[in-house]
Chains A and B, each alone.
Chain A
Amino acid sequence: MRKNKLVSILAVAGLAVATLGFTASTSHAAVFQVRLYVSGDTNVEKMWLTELIPAFEKANPNYNVDVSSFDLHGKNDALTLAKIMAAAKLKKDAGFDVIEAGFVQELGLKGFLTIPSTSRIPNISKVPDSLMELAKGGIPYRASTVLLAYNSKVVATPPKTMDDLLVWIKANPGRFTYNQPSGGGSGYAFAQSVIDKYMTDADIKTLVNEVNKPLQAKWKAGFDVLKSLNPYTYGKNGTYPSGNAATLSLVSNGSVDMATVWSDQFLSGLKAGTIPSYWKVAQISGPALTGGPAMLGVPKGSRQGVAAQRFINWVLSPAAQNIIVGGTLNGYPVIPVTLLSEANQSKFAVGTDISTLRPGYLSSNSTDFKNQWALEVPGK
């Protein structure tokens, strides 16, 4: 009797182990795990975690996307870059299959990315060639631009050109602000656009595409203009908000009447009600405020390179681009607007061409730029 009981217990246990092993092995065989690394603001995190990834996993049940690490505001970008480069040197796995970060371009330039091809990612054929060229081996998947936000109750007709904007700032002391370039892209775009006003198109193109120290000397004229704005920007004492969020908080509490903001953050704030409805945005010209694509990259040593590229192909599909445009992020698509749903098409003016966005400088030039700005402008 006793023996029988023991046997039956063993049998049950054995069966349980066998079942476990069986289910484990089947699920393991069918699922491709793509490890995604995202470096960005909370709105980007929200889009990936609550919108894009669930939609992708629903459409592709045998795929699993793991946001193994999310780096808020890209504070650890330098460390992550070091990790990926070190892993590539040692031919080890860096721990990521898809990377979304500001340094994707730099990884591409240094040859650490899998070069995208239409055979693996057919949808890149829909992405404008100029964007693909800019990406240096990364894959643009959404875009946003910096716009001039203004309080329509105070400002009836917003400035149309950079010159008009500079005149307005000096005519309305303390009512305009942009955040320090090192703290966020919206302030960076304004600063770079003022600088670019005094540079030739060829020079700007060079700084967008390659590391070039000697050319940086030409920034001087623009920095002098930025310095001359110190008594006229918010606070009137040559200090600037710390980042994108700080600028938006000044916008929402009425401390300023005009500021440069990210298109997507502004639209999300308007939708959420944190920015009053009478705030509007406009683009200026001569030069336009910078914008550009956010990119994905597949590191060369990725363990799931094929699955990663399939995932990216899905992100470039109209279904995913509709989520990017219509979801909480309110981004710009990288595929032609005409491929989007009608509701999302109506968000863009007819003829909106994503490939005409004015890009920022290459990352090592832009870090030099942020450094120079801190030396030349604030508190002077």
Chain B
Amino acid sequence: MALPPILVLGIFIGLPIGLAFFLSIGYTGGLNEVISIIGQDVRGRDGKLFTLQAYKDVIADPRFAGDLKTTLIVSFVATILVLIFSIGVGLLQRLRGGKLSSILTGLSLTPLFIPVVISSWALYTFYGSAGLYRTIFNSFGLDIPQITSTMLAVIIGSIWTSLPFAILMVTSGFQSVPNALIEAAQDAGASLITIIRTVMLPLALIPIIIVATFTSIGVLGSFTIPYFLGPNQPTMFGVEITNFFTAYNRPQQSVVMAFIVFAAASGIAISYIWANFRSAKESGRV
């Protein structure tokens, strides 16, 4: 039964990844021949088993360090902020309930229904130099700098796109904490902070880790938000890979960057696998 999906994955995903990997280490013949003819600055292996020259080129490129730093900082900060917001809304809904929390949860799902391109343009207009955000401050006589084309705008945009899924996951995680445990802690005289720290968070740990991994991997590979809202340089890898592939016509270097991002994402994915494994173990499936 598992064979057809594995075949499809193998042919349509595995094969291209394999080809790209061989291109990145200098195999410019065979199925990679045409792309090697078109591309500029393609490094061949010249009869050797493989060459890492393309990797060296990319790492030596002055843009690489800045892009790497930007990508990691944006992914890290956006993930932390998404976690804080989603845990906050989740706790409010679980412990307090009421109208405010329902409105917040409802509102936070709005981005799910707005295409990313549209919301990027909206954010671009809102935070741009003639946007509402600066206009409001200006009416009080404050001339604040515009934040489009900065990393801050990219972080805001990333939070906007990642928050709905995070809130859905985290709220459902908190919902599954039994009332009995919370009440027992209250009876024992535990403060709100203690209850959150020792009962709520540990019990919802797995959904929180899943949110953290999905958000950071999603932001790591994002294109639209940094393309519209970010600075030209340094930029995030999603944009830089596209630039190298199309605008600069350097397919090999873009493939190399893709593998570097892939390595970073795999690191994050390990924690996701660990979380899944742990939850499977708890429910006795492993």
Q: Which residues of A contact B (CB under 8 A)?
A: 74-75, 77-78, 81-82, 85-86, 89, 174, 180, 182-183, 234-235, 237-240, 242, 246, 249-250, 253-255, 363-364, 367-368, 370-371, 374-375, 377-380
Known pairs A182-B248, A375-B62; A255 contacts B128 (CB<8 A): yes
Which residues of the partner chain B approach A379 to less than 8 Å between Cβ atoms? 66, 231-234
| Cβ 8 A contact of A75, one of B39, B130, B232, B246 | B246
Contact B232 A374 (CB under 8 A): yes
| Cβ 8 A contact of B34, one of A89, A239, A363 | A89
Q: Which residues of B contact A (CB under 8 A)?
A: 34-35, 37-40, 61-63, 66, 124-125, 128-130, 145-146, 148-150, 227-228, 231-234, 243, 245-251
Which of B37, B243, B246 is the most central at the interface, judged by chain A CB atoms within 10 Å of its CB?
B246
Given A78-B249, A379-B231; 14 other pairs, CB 8 A cutoff: A75-B246, A77-B246, A78-B35, A78-B245, A235-B146, A237-B145, A237-B231, A239-B232, A242-B227, A250-B128, A253-B130, A363-B249, A367-B250, A374-B232
Bound Cα distance A368, B40 (Å): 9
Which residues of the partner chain A approach B234 to less than 8 Å between Cβ atoms? 379
Bound Cα distance A118, B124 (Å): 50
Bound Cα distance A180, B128 (Å): 17
B244 to chain A, nearest CB (A): 8
B30 to chain A, nearest CB (A): 12
B61 to chain A, nearest CB (A): 8
Bound Cα distance A185, B228 (Å): 17
The 3 closest A-B pairs by CB, nearest first: A182-B247, A239-B149, A378-B232
| Cβ 8 A contact of B38, one of A75, A82, A371 | A82
Which residues of the partner chain A approach B66 to less than 8 Å between Cβ atoms? 379
When C-beta atoms are compared, the residue in chain B nearest to A241 turns out to be B149
Which residues of the partner chain B approach A77 to less than 8 Å between Cβ atoms? 246
Bound Cα distance A328, B8 (Å): 45
Which residues of the partner chain B approach A371 to less than 8 Å between Cβ atoms? 247-248, 250
Which residues of the partner chain B approach A78 to less than 8 Å between Cβ atoms? 35, 38-39, 245-246, 249, 251
Which residues of the partner chain A approach B232 to less than 8 Å between Cβ atoms? 180, 238-240, 242, 374, 378-379
Contact A239 B231 (CB under 8 A): yes
Which residues of the partner chain B approach A380 to less than 8 Å between Cβ atoms? 233
A192 to chain B, nearest CB (A): 14
Known pairs A254-B130, A255-B130, A368-B40; A237 contacts B246 (CB<8 A): no
Contact B243 A374 (CB under 8 A): yes
Contact A85 B37 (CB under 8 A): yes
Which residues of the partner chain A approach B150 to less than 8 Å between Cβ atoms? 237, 239
Bound Cα distance A255, B131 (Å): 9
Bound Cα distance A238, B245 (Å): 24
B97 to chain A, nearest CB (A): 43
Which residues of the partner chain B approach A368 to less than 8 Å between Cβ atoms? 40, 248
Which residues of the partner chain A approach B246 to less than 8 Å between Cβ atoms? 74-75, 77-78
Known pairs A254-B130, A364-B249; A85 contacts B149 (CB<8 A): no
Which residues of the partner chain A approach B231 to less than 8 Å between Cβ atoms? 237-239, 378-379
Which residues of the partner chain A approach B130 to less than 8 Å between Cβ atoms? 253-255
Which residues of the partner chain B approach A182 to less than 8 Å between Cβ atoms? 243, 247-248
Bound Cα distance A273, B107 (Å): 35
Which residues of the partner chain B approach A75 to less than 8 Å between Cβ atoms? 246
B173 to chain A, nearest CB (A): 38
B33 to chain A, nearest CB (A): 8
Contact A85 B233 (CB under 8 A): no
Which residues of the partner chain B approach A246 to less than 8 Å between Cβ atoms? 124, 228
Bound Cα distance A78, B249 (Å): 7
B282 to chain A, nearest CB (A): 46
B232 to chain A, nearest CB (A): 4
A-B contact pairs, 6 of them (CB 8 A): A82-B34, A85-B38, A182-B243, A378-B232, A379-B232, A379-B234
Which residues of the partner chain B approach A237 to less than 8 Å between Cβ atoms? 145, 149-150, 231
Contact A81 B38 (CB under 8 A): yes
Which residues of the partner chain B approach A240 to less than 8 Å between Cβ atoms? 149, 232
Which residues of the partner chain B approach A254 to less than 8 Å between Cβ atoms? 130
Contact B129 A370 (CB under 8 A): no
When C-beta atoms are compared, the residue in chain B nearest to A374 turns out to be B233
Which residues of the partner chain B approach A85 to less than 8 Å between Cβ atoms? 34, 37-38
Contact B243 A235 (CB under 8 A): no
When C-beta atoms are compared, the residue in chain A nearest to B244 turns out to be A371
Bound Cα distance A378, B248 (Å): 16
Which residues of the partner chain A approach B148 to less than 8 Å between Cβ atoms? 235
Contact A235 B251 (CB under 8 A): no
Contact B34 A86 (CB under 8 A): yes
Which residues of the partner chain B approach A249 to less than 8 Å between Cβ atoms? 125
B18 to chain A, nearest CB (A): 18
Bound Cα distance A238, B232 (Å): 8
Which residues of the partner chain B approach A74 to less than 8 Å between Cβ atoms? 246
Which residues of the partner chain A approach B62 to less than 8 Å between Cβ atoms? 375
When C-beta atoms are compared, the residue in chain B nearest to A254 turns out to be B130
Bound Cα distance A86, B35 (Å): 9
